[in-house]
Every structure is written in C-alpha cells, then in structure tokens.
Chain A
Amino acid sequence: MRFLSRNIITVSLLGFLGLLGGLLNGLLGAGGGIVIVAGLRAIYKGKLSDARSVYVSAIAVMLPLSLVSVWRYAHAGLVPQAPFHALILPAIAGGATGALLLRHLTPHALSRLFAAVVLVSGIVLVL
C-alpha cells in the first residue's frame, strides 16, 4: 500500500511538473525547463548514477512542448516571415559546443554568473 501511495505521489508530481512547465513555456516562451529541472532534481535526489540525466531528460521533454508552443504561436501569426540564420546557426553551434563541454567544465561558477545576469535583466525589464 505504501509502495502504491508513494508511486501515486510521484506520478502526480511528475504530471503537475509537466503542466507547470508547459504553462510557462506557452505563456512566456521560456522557463519551463527551469521548473522541470528543479522538480526532477527534487524527485530523483540521490537516486541517479548520473545527475546529468535530469538536464538531458528536461531537454527531451521541453523539445516537444516547445514545438507545440511554436505551432500555436505560428497559428496565431506571431512567427515573423524572416530569415532565421542569425538565430539558428549560432543556436546549433552553441548548443552542440555546450553539450560537448559539459563533461569538462564545472557549471557552478557559470550558473552563479548567469543567475546574476538574469536577475539584473529582470530588474531592468520590470523597471
């Protein structure tokens, strides 16, 4: 009974995580991944042989969710008819490079610096 209730809780949490991540993704065009990474880290704390599985799984979830959101934005006429090479080429190059570097760098200091930049950006935007 305890096993069943524990699994129902986990399933419910994962379902809620998906709803929240998808909601942020659709509403703001960003942020879903952060929520899903945080949630997966809490749920799988101490249970994973490779903690990077959380990040990679979050990406695997966010890709189809973002595809759904892009489809809805395009349906509403919000995707501009413009060449995307300024966006897509560096996106592919940077994403692949970051993934290759992941096993060689400690992200701790980077994430602190990044968080500082994000915080200042948010303040600028709100003011």
Chain B
Amino acid sequence: MWGYLFFFAVALLSGLGIGSAGLPVLYLTLAKGLPQLTAQALNLIFFLFSSGAALLVHLLRTPLLFGAIFLILPTGIVGSLIGTAIAKWMPQEILRTLFGVFLIVTGSIGLFKKGKK
C-alpha cells in the first residue's frame, strides 16, 4: 500500500514538472534492497509511464518547442548510449555515491535558488 502511495506521489510531482529526482531509486535501494543498477532501470521504466501520461495531458494545452526537441534528441541518444555503457562498467558503490552527490547538488540548487512565487 505504502509503495503505491509513494510512487503515486512521486509521479504527481513529475506531472507537475518538478520531477522525481530519482527518488524511486532511493526507495528501491534502501527500502526494497535492490541493487543500484536494477533500481535505476526500474526508475527509468517508472518515468516512461508517469511522464508519458503527463505528456498526453500537457499536449492538449501546452505548445512544444519542436526546434529545440529535434536539436537535443540526436546528441541525447548518443549521451544515453555512453551513459549506460559507463554505468555497466562502473562499480555499484561508486554509482551509488555519484547518485547521492547528484541528489545533494539538485536539492541544494532547488532549495537555495531564488525563484518566482
């Protein structure tokens, strides 16, 4: 039950455009004891469905930046291939630490940046 609620809440934040910041990875590694890479794979699957659903709703009302999308995609795909290749080779502990550092940086920026209310 708590798992469903947790994933619903994280997906809600994704739909709001805030993003999940990999919180499902944290839940799956710490609460469910899954290996880091498996948790990352499941997080990506989670994202596909949560953001896919959000995108379908958004597309009804919000215009896309098609030019930017078509310029970002090719190098993005290259980046994904490089990233997954490195992830498979890298020791899980280092990956976990990198992920933690990423969360700290993301959280710090989000908490301390000035923004519009």
Contact = CB atoms under 8 A, between A and B. Distances in A.
- Asked if A and B are interacting partners, one says yes
B58 A52 contact: yes
A1 interface: no
B75 A22 contact: yes
Contacts of A4: none
A80 B50 CA distance: 19
Contacts of A118: 21, 23, 103, 106-107, 110
A87 B76 contact: no
Interface residues of A, number: 94
A11 B75 CA distance: 11
Contacts of B17: 37, 52, 55-56, 98, 102, 107
B75 A15 contact: yes
A97 B16 CA distance: 8
A33 B23 CA distance: 14
A79 to B, nearest CB: 5
B77 to A, nearest CB: 6
B19 interface: yes
Interface of B: 3-26, 30, 34, 37-59, 61-65, 68-69, 71-88, 90, 95-111, 115-117
Interface of A: 11, 14-34, 36-37, 40, 43-44, 48-50, 52-57, 59-70, 72-74, 76, 78-80, 84, 86-103, 105-108, 110-112, 114-126
